[in-house]
Amino acid sequence: MTYDLSNLLEYNGYLGTVEFSLEDNVLHGRVVGIDGIISYEGNDLESLKQDFEIAVNEYIDMCEVEAIKPQRPYFSQLNIRIPPALHKNLASYSARHNKTLNETVEEALTHYITA
């Protein structure tokens, strides 16, 4: 699923959705990018943000009590599959510009996302 990052809550490195239930007339959301469901709700945006932060803190506390490492929503590694020709072009570009392949991919993704 793709998310518009400008419409997500952020707290302590975790991201959460902002959704609205017409049936219940309440804002709600869930933490994205981790296994399991961490949800929260509120009657207005401020109470939604507060409940989001409480939910994240409770998740971290629960992990500590159970002696497990809390999942982080996003990691510094991203494994992707690309066509061999594109891989070759990336490697060639990187070499010509005295960059690592990772630097080239990061630069390209940054340019694409912020453009």
pLDDT one-digit tens code per residue, 46-85: 999 999 999 999 999 999 999 999 888 765 667 788 999 9
**Is residue 10 one of the residues assigned to a domain?**
yes
Cα separation, 67 vs 102, in Å, equals 34
Q: How many residues in the chain?
A: 115
Q: Do 54 and 102 belong together in one domain?
A: no
Q: What is the pLDDT of residue 51?
A: 98
Q: Do 26 and 61 belong together in one domain?
A: yes
Domain count across the chain: 2
Instruction: Give the CA radius of gyration of the chain.
Output: 19
Q: What is the pLDDT of residue 6?
A: 61
**Is residue 26 one of the residues assigned to a domain?**
yes
Cα separation, 55 vs 71, in Å, equals 14
Q: Do 59 and 92 belong together in one domain?
A: no
Cα separation, 40 vs 96, in Å, equals 49
Q: Do 15 and 55 belong together in one domain?
A: yes
Domain containing 36: what range?
5-65
pLDDT reading at 41 higher than 60: yes
Q: What is the pLDDT of residue 63?
A: 92
φ and ψ at residue 40, rounded to 5 degrees: -160, 165
